[in-house]
Amino acid sequence: MRPEYKPKAIRSYVIRAGRITEGQRAAFDRWWPEYGLSLHDGVFDPEASYGRRAPLVLEIGFGMGDSLLAMARAEPEKDFIGIEVHPPGVGRLINRAGEEGVTNLRVYMADAIDVLDDCIAPGSVDRFQLYFPDPWHKKKHHKRRIVQPEFVGRVRKVLKAEGLFHLATDWQAYAEHMQEVMESAPGFTNAVAPGTYAERPSYRPITKFEQRGARLGHGVWDLLYRVQRDG
């Protein structure tokens, strides 16, 4: 399996080869038909896919998938979509989800921008999650940061009125950049108070990566923004 994406000049991620284990490879054969979604299938129909109508949560860049799987288990009344370009993480997630019988989860292995443009219906998402995206900390690479006004406009389009956009990063400079972009983003209101970071919501698990960072004295910044009803 290879990630799906359209040609474009600037990406917010690097395509890494990554070593995929035999178990992860086998997971695609066994579990992709149940959990996998294709960029080429057109607009996603949650009710047809999950067999019910439920709040929809979408996460971009779930890495190895541990926290996304934990959230799907903890909130069975919600349906989840994960988007990730790296096969090892996708294979690990669908393998664990399949073995545990998790039914409220679907996965795109594709460029998130392409998925948002072609597959997610406007006003269909209740919560949009972007956790620990690549900060592209060198100034010459800042144009690659995913949190830009154009991207935020895409997020706003797919979120429902009063839907929640939840961002998190462990780079303070990127947190400040996120906040600057979001505070001026049309149609969004800071869910805490203007110019204020949020406490980590209970639904977002603390990852091993985050725990390790905390031991080293690294901070984590959560940002919560809600779509204005008249936005």
Residue 81 lies in a domain: yes
- Give the residue from 188, 36, 168 showing the smallest Cα distance to 115: 36
pLDDT score of 141: 44
For the whole model, what pTM was predicted? Answer: 0.90
Q: Is 60 helix (H, G, I), strand (E, B) or coil?
A: strand
Q: Across the strands, what pairs with 106? A: 81
| Series of mean pLDDT values for 10-residue runs along the chain (231 residues) | 64 57 84 96 97 98 95 98 95 96 97 96 98 74 82 98 96 95 98 97 88 80 93 48
CATH number, position 64: 3.40.50.150
pLDDT score of 221: 95
Half-sphere exposure of residue 35: CA atoms within 13 angstroms, side-chain side: 31
Catalytic residues: 134
Residue 12 lies in a domain: no
Residue 92 lies in a domain: yes
pLDDT score of 162: 97
pLDDT score of 45: 98
- Give the residue from 10, 5, 137, 13 showing the smallest Cα distance to 63: 13
pLDDT score of 54: 98
pLDDT score of 142: 61
pLDDT score of 92: 94
Residue 17 lies in a domain: no
- Give the residue from 80, 156, 169 showing the smallest Cα distance to 122: 156
Q: Is 189 helix (H, G, I), strand (E, B) or coil?
A: strand
Residue 222 lies in a domain: yes
Residue 165 lies in a domain: yes
Residue 11 lies in a domain: no
Quote the tokens at residue 126. 């209740």
User: How far is 101 from 147, CA to CA, in rounded Å?
Assistant: 34
Write the DSSP string, 109-135.
Answer: -B-HHHHHHHTSPTT-EEEEEEES---
State which residues form the domain around 135. 22-227
Residue 73 lies in a domain: yes
Look at the chain and report how many structural domains it folds into: 1
